[in-house]
Amino acid sequence: MKMKQMLKKAASLALVAVLAAGLAGCGQKTEAELPEKAEENLPEKTAETAEKDSVVVVMGPSSEPEAGFDPAYGWGAGEHVHEPLIQSTLTVTDADLKIGYDLATDMSVSDDGLVWTVKIRDGVKFTDGEPLTAEDVAFTYNTLRDTSSVNDFTMLDEAVAADASTVEFHLNRPYSIWPYTMAITGIVPKHAYGPDYGSDPIGSGRYIMKQWDRGQQVIFEANPDYYGEAPKMKRVTVLFMEEDAAYAAACSGQVDLAYTSAAYSDQTVDGFSLAAYPTVDNRGFNLPAVAAGETDENGVPLGNDFTCDVNVRRAINLAIDREAMIANVLNGYGTAAYSVCDKMPWYNPQAETPHDPDTANALLDEAGWLTGADGIREKDGVRAAFILLYPTGDSVRQALAEETANQLSEFGIDVTVEGVGWDTAYDRAQSTPLMWGWGAHTPMELYNIYHTKPGGKYAQYSPYRNEEVDRLMDEALASPSLEDSYELWKQAQWNGSTGITQEGDLPWVWLVNIDHLYWVKDGLKVADQKPHPHGHGWSIVNNVDQWTWQ
């Protein structure tokens, strides 16, 4: 064995021992039970990592961007929704999820909503010393329009640099929420962009990516030429670990902040506290709102003969005890969810629904769903029963599905829980309820779930159609200003006569918003967090530049 390999092996064995000691101190697993490769992902404690201007953060393996740190392939969007650390964005969202400025200094929109004009700040440089101009902004957006695999840029006709500090976005349809797209789109350099950009990114943001060891870690260092306030944390190391390994790493004291879940919330870690951050990372299930018998253009079966009854859907929503779910499944770490846009500026509080078992039973009785000999309701030969799918391997969604089944059994509804892979889940959800996870800092989440597909008959993820809801959302997108659109998004949820809430069509039932939990080392002051979107990952480090040691 070569000397270098021998030294690496010796260091790994030493860290195994450290981890095992940490686990023993937590009253958990022994050395023999350590998660595979956990020790290889931990940096050795050195003077550099012990300084009070650096931090080591643990995220789950799914947080690592498979295609690299390129906005065109999901970095800053999708499952990595955050304000990019490496690149700068034109806008940002504040604590109330309203729009603020980053690279932008001013913006306006034409009366017809088709041209957004954005002024960008002068004096910004990429980390290779080249100036950032409107040409780079236009190049970024035109590139993402043509290549993005995550974000929707179909509304963008062309981005044009009017001069060095002015960019114009020419849209092919009004899109009032364009500023939210600008908040997650990192600007790349036209002169240094290519196929390998994601592995060696150049940006103008708060940090420079110094090292990426795939499958293990990524290291960021503060950008000394950053145009804004200098980051307090000069070095940020992100490790990618399974949950057991993350817990072991905290127990060993080798990291400063590590993600965890409610399953670990009754544990303790010496020198750490458990922090819970609010989210819009919600869980809920669709209820196909049309009867069985149809198929879509690809031959996928649509509809469900039980959930197509609106009174059934309303009864289920009233029957669910969300607080019991939070206690039983999340160990108290969550909040009740009533829509896909809770806590957002466009949330309609009319979506909030009480736990009302008496009314739930009465609705079912009045709708003709009567209790049979076996205790299960039925109507016209149709049993009050359905399968509730959950993604295989997701223990939280499985537990929520089982809790849903237990609660609905008290109302004479027979729910069978079944795990399913994502390769078939989308198709099966067209006729069978599925436990989903959603939550984003944009009204398009509402649109994508409830709006009829372009050229289609129903919405994308579950068969549902309401032309008035479609019209209100279309009007919201065509609104002359972002602020004016908020009221229209609220009306699309419920306008007094129709919508997607309890008194309306209710094609989805929302259960809980899951708190994002982290073990935080004593002395580390994590800056205030805005509600995290779906995905227990990069959102925590949105403002890592503002973290401090005390």
Superfamily name and number for 1-64+214-279+515-550 = Periplasmic binding protein-like II (3.40.190.10)
Q: Which CATH architecture has domain 282-513?
A: Roll (3.10)
Q: Return the CATH class of domain 76-198.
A: alpha beta
What are the structural domain ranges in the chain?
A: 1-64+214-279+515-550, 76-198, 282-513
Bridge partner list, 418 = 389
| φ/ψ of residue 201, rounded to 5 | -75, 145
Report the alpha-carbon distance of residue 61 to residue 547 in Å, rounded: 23
- How large is the C-alpha radius of gyration of the chain? 25
* 192 closest CA partner among 262, 130, 122, 282: 130
What one-letter code names the amino acid at 179?
P
Residues 6+ apart with CB under 8 A from 218: 64, 209, 211, 212, 237, 238
Sheet hosting strand 156-163, strand order edge to edge: 104-109, 115-120, 166-171, 156-163
* 14 closest CA partner among 41, 36, 37, 44: 44
- The residue assigned the tokens 């981005």 is 159
DSSP one-letter string for 243-309: HHHHHHHHHHT--SEEEE-GGGTT---TTEEEEEE-B--EEEEE---S-BTEE-TT--EE--TTTTS
8 Å CB contact between 336 and 317: no
Each of the 550 residues of the chain gets a pLDDT tens digit; together they read: 333 333 333 333 333 333 444 455 575 443 323 344 445 545 554 444 445 899 999 999 989 998 899 998 878 765 556 678 999 999 998 888 889 999 999 999 999 999 999 999 999 999 999 999 999 999 999 999 999 777 789 999 999 999 999 999 999 999 999 999 999 899 999 999 999 999 999 999 999 999 999 999 999 999 999 999 999 999 999 999 999 999 999 999 999 999 999 999 999 999 999 999 999 999 999 999 999 999 999 999 999 999 999 999 999 999 999 999 999 999 999 999 999 999 899 999 999 999 999 999 999 999 999 999 999 999 999 999 999 999 999 999 999 999 999 999 999 999 999 999 999 999 999 999 999 999 888 899 999 999 999 989 999 999 999 999 999 999 999 998 888 999 999 999 999 999 999 999 999 999 999 999 999 999 999 999 999 988 888 999 999 999 999 9
* 511 closest CA partner among 392, 327, 339: 339
Other beta carbons within 10 angstroms of residue 409's beta carbon come to 13
Q: Please indicate whether the domains covering 1-64+214-279+515-550 and 76-198 agree at the CATH topology level.
A: yes
* 241 closest CA partner among 220, 226, 260, 262: 260
Instruction: Give kind and range of the element (H or E) at residue 328.
Output: helix 322-330
